[in-house]
A and B are shown apart, each in its own frame.
Chain A
Amino acid sequence: GAVVSQHPSRVICKSGTSVKIECRSLDFQATTMFWYRQFPKQSLMLMATSNEGSKATYEQGVEKDKFLINHASLTLSTLTVTSAHPEDSSFYICSASGNSGGGNEQFFGPGTRLTVL
C-alpha cells in the first residue's frame, strides 16, 4: 500500500516558538493532503485540507495564522505551529490522497506528538 511518513515523530518545544511538521507521500503523488489533530482518547479532528499548489482550506474554528500549511509539491506538505502554547500540545496526523488507491482513500502518516512546555 501507499506509504506516508511524518517527521518528526515527537517534538518538545518551549512556549512561543514555532514548530514545523513534515508530511511526505513516499510512493505516490498526493494531490490532496489532510491535517488532523487528535486529543487523548478522542477522535480525529480535521484541521485543514490542502491541494498541491493552492491555499489550504481550514475547518471552522481553526486559526489559519497559527497553523500554517504549505503543500508545495505532490509529495510534501508541511504544518507549522506558530508561537506554540501548551494548549497546542497534541497528536498531529497527516493523510494523503492521490492516484494510488480508489474511492478517495486517505493514507495516514504515523503522527507527530507535540509537547509545548
Chain B
Amino acid sequence: AQSVTQLDSQVPVFEEAPVELRCNYSSSVSVYLFWYVQYPNQGLQLLLKYLSGSTLVKGINGFEAEFNKSQTSFHLRKPSVHISDTAEYFCAVSDPGNTGKLIFGQGTTLQVKP
C-alpha cells in the first residue's frame, strides 16, 4: 500500500526567498506523483505531476519538483515566493494500476511573510 509523508506541517518564509516543501512516499510499485495547492475554502488545483521521463518537473506559478526514486522523494521548490503563494500544499501518490485513487499527505501550510 502506498503512503505519503509531508515532513513539515508549516513552513514560514519571507517574500522573495526560496522555499522547499518536502514529500516522501512509500510504494511497492511504480507510482505517479502530484502536488496540489489549496487556497482557503476552495478545491485543489494541480501544480505539477510526475508520470515518467525527466525527473525534474516544472509546473505552474514557477514551481518545480524533482522525483528521486532512490530516496523516494518528490520535493517541491520555488526559487522566489510571493505573498500570493500562501496556501496549503498537498503531495499525493497514485498507483497507475488502479482507478487512479490518490493518497494524500498531511499537507504543508506555506506562510509567506512580507
Contacts and interface: CB of A to CB of B under 8 A. Distances in A.
Contact of B107 (A1, A43, A97, A107): A43
B101 A34 contact: yes
B107 A109 contact: no
A93 B44 contact: yes
B51 interface: yes
A111 B42 contact: yes
B102 A110 contact: no
A105 interface: yes
Given A103-B51, A110-B43, A46 B96 contact: no
Interface residues of A, number: 26
Interface string B29-59: 0001010100001111110010100000000
A1 B103 CA distance: 22
Given A104-B32, A105-B49, A111-B43, A49 B101 contact: yes
A113 interface: yes
Contact of B106 (A34, A43, A49, A104): A43
B104 interface: yes
A107 B44 CA distance: 8
A7 to B, nearest CB: 13
B100 interface: yes
Contacts of A108: 36, 43-45
Given A105-B100, A113-B41, 13 more contacts: A4-B43, A32-B100, A43-B90, A44-B44, A46-B102, A95-B43, A95-B44, A97-B100, A103-B49, A104-B100, A105-B49, A107-B46, A110-B42
The list of the 8 closest CB pairs from A to B, nearest first, reads A104-B100, A103-B51, A108-B43, A108-B44, A110-B43, A43-B104, A97-B100, A103-B32
